[in-house]
């Protein structure tokens, strides 16, 4: 799969990550995946249902048609639709949204576990699954607790809105900046009033 980023966009994202890690000592990872699952069963199930429907309609409309001809029609429909439904945009449209998001969420958590297994105390993962149109930001427990209630949800919401407008690289860079703001605000020293 070709990268969803141009060379310039990739350099801007890498620079934003490097700057955040330098300023905050946090480990930030970015995972952008084409799809979170193959969903290989869905084309076959939908093609099978369509083939059964075509065979039933054929049998009702032309009851005198030989069974062998009906079976050939059914197999032809099954093969043609399985190939058609296996095309990624159609395949993804056959999968219910909640299933797609569940698979994307599961992959995000697996990636977070893999990235946070080695290294420092603060971990943040920005996860994007393009096919599912799914965005998630995961942080370790301590980092997550740094932000007031709703902050992470707002960052994800802004991230998703910018991504939907077709500006994936800008969405990622803005999310990195927002995560940095959370980390820097909480690590800044608290000043006490002299009076």
Contacts of 183 (CB under 8 A, 6+ apart): 20, 23, 24, 26, 122, 143, 146
Instruction: Verify that 103 and 158 share a domain, yes or no.
Output: yes
Instruction: Verify that 26 and 116 share a domain, yes or no.
Output: yes
Instruction: Verify that 107 and 173 share a domain, yes or no.
Output: yes
Euclidean distance between CA atoms 57 and 151, whole angstroms: 55
Instruction: Verify that 149 and 72 share a domain, yes or no.
Output: no
Instruction: Verify that 114 and 181 share a domain, yes or no.
Output: yes
Tallying the residues shown for the chain, one arrives at 195
The domain of 158 spans 7-37+96-187
The answer to whether 103 touches 111, Cβ cutoff 8 Å, is no
Q: Which of 72, 94, 116 is the last residue of a domain?
A: 94
What is the rounded average pLDDT of the residues 21-31? 90
Instruction: Verify that 80 and 55 share a domain, yes or no.
Output: yes
pLDDT for position 144: 87
Instruction: Verify that 111 and 176 share a domain, yes or no.
Output: yes
Cα atoms found within 13 Å of the Cα of residue 104, Cβ hemisphere only: 25
Longest dimension (CA), the chain: 99
- 190: exposed, middle or buried (C-beta count within 10 Å: 0-12, 13-18, 19+)? exposed
Predicted structure pTM score: 0.85
Number of structural domains the chain divides into: 2
What is the rounded average pLDDT of the residues 107-123? 85
- Give residue 185's pLDDT band: very low, low, confident or very high (50, 70, 90): confident
Instruction: Verify that 66 and 135 share a domain, yes or no.
Output: no
Residue for token digits 């980390």?
Answer: 183
Instruction: Verify that 130 and 83 share a domain, yes or no.
Output: no
Please check the confidence at residue 158 and state whether its pLDDT lies above 70.
Answer: yes
Q: Which two tokens mark 117?
A: 């297994």
Instruction: Verify that 167 and 100 share a domain, yes or no.
Output: yes
In a domain, 146, yes or no: yes
pLDDT for position 184: 83
């Amino acid at each position: 799969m070709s990268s969803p980023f141009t060379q310039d966009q990739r350099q801007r994202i890498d620079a934003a990550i490097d700057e955040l890690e330098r300023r905050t000592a946090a480990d930030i990872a970015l995972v952008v995946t084409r799809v979170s699952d193959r969903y290989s069963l869905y084309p076959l199930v939908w093609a099978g249902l369509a083939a059964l429907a075509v065979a039933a309609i054929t049998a009702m409309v032309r009851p005198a048609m030989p069974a062998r001809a009906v079976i050939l029609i059914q197999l032809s429909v099954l093969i043609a639709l399985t190939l058609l439904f296996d095309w990624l945009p159609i395949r993804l449209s056959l999968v219910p949204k909640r299933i797609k998001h569940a698979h994307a969420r599961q992959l995000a958590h697996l990636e977070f576990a893999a990235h946070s297994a080695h290294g420092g105390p603060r971990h943040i993962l920005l996860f994007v699954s393009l096919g599912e149109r799914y965005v998630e930001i995961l942080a370790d427990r301590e980092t997550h607790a740094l932000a007031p209630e709703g902050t992470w949800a707002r960052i994800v919401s802004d991230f998703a809105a910018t991504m939907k407008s077709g500006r994936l690289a800008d969405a990622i860079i803005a999310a990195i900046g927002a995560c940095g703001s959370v980390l820097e605000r909480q690590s800044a020293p608290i000043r006490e009033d002299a009076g």
